[in-house]
Structures are given as C-alpha cells and as structure tokens.
A and B are shown apart, each in its own frame.
Chain A
Amino acid sequence: MGSDDAFSVEMPMPPPDPIAPHDDTVERLLTGRLVPEEAPAAYAEVARLLEAVAGPPRPDELAGQAAVMAAFRARHRRAGRGRRVRLVAVTVAGAVFAGGAAAASTGSLPAPVERVVRTLRGDAAPAGDPVHRQPLRPAPATSGPLTGNRTAAPSPGAPSAGHAGPTATYDAKPGKRKQSKSKQKQKPVKPAKPRPGKAT
C-alpha cells in the first residue's frame, strides 16, 4: 500500500492516451463542423483530411453519367414500350371486334378472323387475351413517342400516377366496355338453354 502511495506521488499518472480524441471532437470532425484551424493540434490534419474526403465532386467522378443515363433510359423505354404495345393491342382488338362483329354477321370474314371474333363475342373469359397478347412480342415501329409520355407522365406530386396511368386506362376502360357489350349481345343466345332446369 505504502509503495503504491509512493508510486502515485513520484510518478504522476499520465493521460491514458495523449491523442485520444474527445467524443465531441470526433462527432464534429465527422460532420464537418470542426475546421482545421479550430481543431485540437493533433487533429488539425485529420480535419483537413476529412475536408478533402468530403470535397466537391471531381470531373472524373461524374464522367460515367452518360452510361448510367443510357441504362435508365433503356429501363424506362422498355416499360413504356410494354404499356404502348398493350395500348395498341387493345385498339387493334377493339377495331377487330367492332368491325369483325359486323362482318362476321354477313359471313364475309376469313375463317381464322371470324373464329377470333366469335371467340371474342361468345367467350366469358378475358376476351382480349388471344388477340392482344400477340403484338406484345414484336416491337412497335414508332420512334420516340416516349418523350411525350415521359414529360407528361411524371408529375412531381404523384410518383406512381405517371406509371400506372396508361396501364390503368388499358386495363380498365376498354375491357369493361367490351365485356358489357358482349354480354348484351350474348343475352339473346344464352337464355334458350339451361335456366328452366335450374328452377325445377
């Protein structure tokens, strides 16, 4: 015990780590709130180093913009093309259906087309499928229509509206209209069969 006392008197305790930074110093250095001139002597160079790490962008760091933008463009062109193809397909299907319905009744359509029209008219399942899935594969020949789409679609306030808008129009409106029309046309054909049996 005595020797301990002697030790503490003769050998003053050095700081455990002369350059250990204070917690506040660390935080201020990391958040850029401690400039080299105000930093503790041991940390002036560290402050300078961290300033450099967080320095303004160098031209070479922004050199890859064209490549990334090309990837971004390709991604959105693909998405836009998908929407556009579906829209065109629905339009074609609508035209086929409207014109074909009339032509089929006169028997003036080629057999395959007439089969499609009859399917569209008579099938309760999603009637557009057989027709509108075909044009999805070949890309439309139109060039650059995305530009118009893109400037119109992304309203800053509604992120997904630009995305969902065309798809929603395609999914909901034409399909519903066609179904209701086809149901109306089916009515005269169907009631002849099974209903009475069900009642008994």
Chain B
Amino acid sequence: VIDLMIGPTFMAVLDAAAGGHEPAFAVLWRDLQPGLLRYLGAIAPGAAEDLASETWLRVIRGLGRFRGDEPAFRAWVFTAARHRAIDRWRRDTRRPGERVPLDALVDRPAPDDPAEAAIDAISSREAVAMIATLPPDQAEVVMLRVVAGLDVAEVAAITGKRPGNVRVLAHRALRRLAERLQEDVRRRGAV
C-alpha cells in the first residue's frame, strides 16, 4: 500500500489546515495528491489532472466542516474525486470518462505498453495504465485498496457495493492481471 499516511499528527495537521494554515494544508495535499491522480488516472484516463483539481477545490471548501480521523479523511477525499469523475461522465456526451472498453484492448497493449515494461522496472504511470485496462469497477476497487489504502468496508461504502462484491471484483481483477502478465512473459520468451 502506498506509504503516505500522516499518522499520529494527522488531527493536528487537519485542524491547522481547517484554520487556514497553508503548510498544514500542503501536508494534506502532498499526502493524497499522488494517490488521487493515480486513482483518477485509472478510472478516468486523460482527465485525472482536471478532476483532481476540482476535487481539491471541493476539499478546500468543505475542510472546515469535515469531522473524522485520517482514514475517514482519505475516504472523504476519494469519494469527492469519484463524484467529480461521475459528474464528468454525465456531462460528457462521449463514452463514460473517456475510458477505452477492455474488449477493445484484449489483443492490444495499453497506450504506453505497460505489459511490455512489466518485467523490468515498471513505473507507477505504466502500472496505472495497465490497471486502467481492467473493467472500470475492477480497476476502481484495486485502486481504492492499493492507492487510497482503504479496506473492503470503506471501498464498499464509497462505491455503493456490498463488501462481498468488492472482494469478488478485486479477486477477478488480480486474476485477470496475472493472466495478462503471464501471457506477456510467454510472448517475450517465445520471441
């Protein structure tokens, strides 16, 4: 899991940020922004930067009213991001979130060929691009678990799914990734 939790000082940081303390808010932003971009990059490729900015504007407006601990804050921020992405999908007349359907990618590498780079040192960007090739609900569950550091119950609450369903989606997602990566290893071995 992305190791970005603020920890015991979180409440003090949050309180200070809510009072207008810029360095405190910067701590919150730096803690969550990378994960937020990766999450949005997986569920709404191409719009992650914009959606993250919209999310932070919402967070800034609502910061004084937020009550909760660090996991709750993370869940709150990622929920806001999810809502921004959904709003974008609704506004958009094109396919939701500009996501490319997985079926269209079965025999094609993702845009910057994450599978090709998987065996070597894979970058977080390539890894996110590979997750983004999963069906949207699977990709979202994986990203909320891995990047946001949320547990099954929190992911279920955010996505409006049952915990059992969240587990199944994660299970299928990892299996599909394993399959694709193994295929890639075989293909590279054969060449």
Contacts and interface: CB of A to CB of B under 8 A. Distances in A.
In the complex, which of the residues B2, B37, B123, B178 has the most CB atoms of chain A within 10 Å of its own CB atom?
Answer: B178
Contacts of A69: 22, 25-26, 29
B26 A65 contact: yes
B119 interface: yes
Interface string B106-122: 00000000100011001
Interface residues on B, range: 35 or more
A163 B16 CA distance: 10
Contact of B19 (A46, A62, A71, A162): A162
A52 B171 contact: no
A23 B24 CA distance: 39
B191 interface: no
B56 A150 contact: no
Contact of A61 (B20, B26, B37): B37
B20 A156 contact: no
Contacts, number: 171
In the complex, which of the residues A65, A146, A154, A163 has the most CB atoms of chain B within 10 Å of its own CB atom?
Answer: A154
Contacts of A140: none
Interface string A122-158: 0000000000000000000000001001110111111
Contact of A64 (B14, B53, B142, B167): B53
Nearest to A154: B19
A25 to B, nearest CB: 8
B60 A157 contact: no
A45 B181 contact: yes
A49 interface: yes
B19 A43 contact: no
A162 B88 CA distance: 36
Contacts of B95: none
Interface stretch (B79-87, B96-104, B125-133): B125-133
A31 interface: yes
Interface of A: 17, 19-21, 23, 26, 29-32, 42-43, 45-46, 48-50, 52-55, 57-58, 61-62, 64-65, 67-69, 71-73, 75-76, 79-80, 146, 149-151, 153-163
Given A58-B124, A76-B20, 14 more contacts: A45-B119, A45-B178, A53-B38, A53-B131, A54-B1, A54-B146, A68-B29, A68-B60, A69-B22, A69-B29, A71-B60, A75-B61, A154-B20, A155-B16
Interface of B: 1-4, 11-22, 24-26, 29-30, 33-34, 37-38, 49, 52-53, 56-57, 60-61, 64, 114, 118-119, 122-128, 130-131, 142-143, 145-147, 167, 170-171, 174-175, 177-179, 181-182, 185
Closest 7 CB pairs of A and B: A154-B19, A162-B19, A159-B15, A156-B12, A52-B127, A76-B20, A57-B34
